C-alpha cells in the first residue's frame, strides 16, 4: 500500500468494497458496461449516481491507478483508484482536477487541500 492511501480510513475502503456489486449493477442497468468483467479487480467502479461529474474527466467506468509526474520535483508518483474515488465522490472535487504534486511535495506545500488544481 502506498503512502497516499494512508489518508483513507480502513472503514471507508471497506464500504467501497461492499458497494462494488451495487455499482456494477447500476453500470450494467445504464448500459455503461456490457459485462461486469469490464471492471478490473483492482479498479473501483464509479457510482453513476454521484460520480457523473467524474466521468467527464476520467473517460472510463471505473477508477484506476494513474501515474503522473510531479510538477515541482519532477518525480513520478501515482494517484490511486481509492484516492480518486474519495476525491471525486466524497470531497466533490472539480471533475477537471488533476494531480500535480507528488505525495512528498503535497505534504510540504499543504494548504488545506489545494494541492490538486
Range in contact with Zn ion (rule: CB under 5 A) among 1-9, 52-60, 90-98, 100-108: 100-108
- Of 70, 78, 93, 100, the one binding Zn ion by CB under 5 A: 70
Cell of 33: 458496461
Residue 105 within binding range of Zn ion, rule CB under 5 A? yes
d(CA 27, CA 7): 28
- How many Cα atoms are found within 13 Å in the side-chain-facing hemisphere of 94? 9
3-state secondary structure of 69: strand
Q: Which residue lies nearer to Zn ion by CB, 102 or 115?
A: 102
Q: Which residue lies nearer to Zn ion by CB, 65 or 72?
A: 72
3-state secondary structure of 13: helix
Interface residues with Zn ion (CB under 5 A) are: 70, 72-73, 102, 105
Amino acid at each position: 500500500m502506498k503512502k497516499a492511501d494512508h489518508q483513507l480510513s480502513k472503514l471507508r475502503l471497506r464500504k467501497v468494497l461492499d458497494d462494488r456489486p451495487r455499482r456494477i449493477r447500476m453500470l450494467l442497468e445504464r448500459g455503461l458496461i456490457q459485462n461486469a468483467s469490464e471492471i478490473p479487480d483492482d479498479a473501483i467502479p464509479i457510482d453513476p449516481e454521484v460520480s457523473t461529474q467524474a466521468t467527464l474527466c476520467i473517460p472510463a467506468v471505473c477508477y484506476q491507478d494513474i501515474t503522473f509526474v510531479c510538477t515541482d520535483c519532477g518525480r513520478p508518483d501515482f494517484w490511486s483508484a481509492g484516492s480518486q474515488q474519495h476525491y471525486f465522490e466524497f470531497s466533490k472535487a472539480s471533475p477537471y482536477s488533476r494531480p500535480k504534486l507528488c505525495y512528498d511535495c503535497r505534504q510540504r506545500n499543504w494548504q488545506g487541500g489545494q494541492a490538486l488544481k
